[in-house]
Structure 1
């Protein structure tokens, strides 16, 4: 028998931003519970009315959130039976890194925050942050399934830094916090990635050998007015190809960083 995951009435009602649609925030929370393993495959999700009571909202945004998750194949709705977590959500595939991992999924183990400081904007990001003289930098090691997953630096304009607590940065990706703490709508991102021989510091934190192949991934993300609101320069273990791409947000596309890129996309010259 499928297991129900019950919450006490109103227990999740706090923390909603007035600047973002309720359905979007509810979908993010449920998505994180699913991808983080709190709602395991095959588990029954509470009825819409119960979820609405729990979140302190009407049924309408709950229904919209569930439709979004159904479109992503994270849940299955069975007439007469209820709503269930998909048995094999694609983003659960071992070795696959999805946009949700980069943007919204809560870390399975608290990240290690190495340093927070205001620094000069790195030259590769300077064209995107015009008018800024310094930027807030967060050096972080993130984990996936308790294994080091990424090492590098996150960048945000100084005006956003105060609302980003170190405790939150240990638990969540930067872009989720920008959405929930500042109500920023993330419109698009520009990524650049290349194969590198990993340096000694990154190798130490990722627990692999120095100079082994790794993936260097940089990203700049823009809001609806096309202003840069965040960036990162991260290193991930092992991927031998180079690629560049842009993505619109909200499409639910997964990017599998575990298989050769030649099987997924053509490198840009």
Structure 2
């Protein structure tokens, strides 16, 4: 059945009209709950499902799509955790107002720049594969005999340097070259490799610009830099990335939203 999404009323959204059995690929390595949640997320962000709209129950949606209730419950919880919907006892699940942002958006700088039409460019400063040092080994939960891909890149947009990015990835999870890093974002390559990111531990800080970074980032020595250290995990709970980045404070900022629980 083909349904015009524009015909879905804003105050009573039937999820089965937004997702059909054809939208779910049961042979894909992407979990079923994540496929469903992503379809809803796109519909909410695109305005197809409007703020205040009430969603059908998990029981109804699970029945319509031929999925289990635990799978549907996990999909809805994903949307709740991202701040896109709220559950109210006796009132069901409703889409929140646009000003409520997701609690964590696990994207890369390349994705952020590309999505906003800023045409990112990348220069690979170093690329190597070898044994991890103690810090990388601990962050990625590896053995000393495991190998990691380590890459340092300069990311630019609009002709200006934005960040120096240092990433470490288990070599067993990704088969890539320096040229791949030159032409693609890391998370883009993860998606191509079938790696589904699920969560991350992230620490944001600040530091002053060193002499080397001043030359690289076209700044004065001592200028303000934002720092971010991230360990990202896939949907199996395995660490797939350890990133240590510095950003030009006057050209980039982090936005976070907090949800009351």
Shorter-chain TM-score: which interval? Answer: 0.5 to 0.7
Q: Is 1:87 equivalent to 2:98 in the alignment?
A: yes
Report matched runs for 1:48-197 at 5 Å: 58=67, 60=69, 61-76=71-86, 83-91=94-102, 99-102=104-107, 107=112, 108-109=115-116, 111-115=120-124, 117-120=127-130, 123=133, 125-128=135-138, 129=142, 130-137=144-151, 139=153, 141=155, 150-162=163-175, 169-170=184-185, 172=187, 177=191, 181-182=194-195, 189=201, 191=203, 193-197=205-209
Q: State the alpha-carbon separation in 2 of the partners of residues 68 and 225 from structure 1.
A: 15
Structure 1-normalised TM-score?
Answer: 0.53
Cα deviation for residue 236 of structure 1 reads: 2.5
User: Which residue in 2 is equivalent to 1:22?
Assistant: 32
Cα deviation for residue 76 of structure 1 reads: 3.9
Unaligned runs of 5+ residues in structure 1 are 92-97, 240-255, 260-269
Tell me the matched-pair count. Answer: 223
SS across alignment from 1:160:
coil
Q: State the alpha-carbon separation in 1 of the partners of residues 39 and 181 from structure 2.
A: 20
8 A contact 1:221–1:229 mirrored in 2: yes
Q: State the alpha-carbon separation in 1 of the partners of residues 35 and 183 from structure 2.
A: 16
CA distance change for structure 1 residues 22 and 173 in 2, over 3 Å: closer, same or farther? same
Bigger RCO of structures 1 and 2 (CA < 8 A, at least 6 apart): 1
8 A contact 1:163–1:181 mirrored in 2: no
SS across alignment from 2:194:
helix
Q: State the alpha-carbon separation in 2 of the partners of residues 118 and 222 from structure 1.
A: 22
Cα deviation for residue 67 of structure 1 reads: 3.4
Q: Which has the larger radius of gyration?
A: 2
8 A contact 2:82–2:104 mirrored in 1: no
8 A contact 1:136–1:161 mirrored in 2: no
Map Cα deviations across residues 130-165 of structure 1 (whole Å, 9 max, x no partner). Answer: 22345253636388xxx9865413221112223897
8 A contact 1:28–1:104 mirrored in 2: no
Q: State the alpha-carbon separation in 2 of the partners of residues 168 and 10 from structure 1.
A: 35
Structure 2-normalised TM-score?
Answer: 0.55
Q: State the alpha-carbon separation in 2 of the partners of residues 75 and 139 from structure 1.
A: 37
Map Cα deviations across residues 181-233 of structure 1 (whole Å, 9 max, x no partner). Answer: 246776x63747442326236535xxxx4442011222334679987532112
SS across alignment from 2:105:
helix
Q: State the alpha-carbon separation in 1 of the partners of residues 55 and 105 from structure 2.
A: 23
Unaligned runs of 5+ residues in structure 2 are 1-8, 257-261
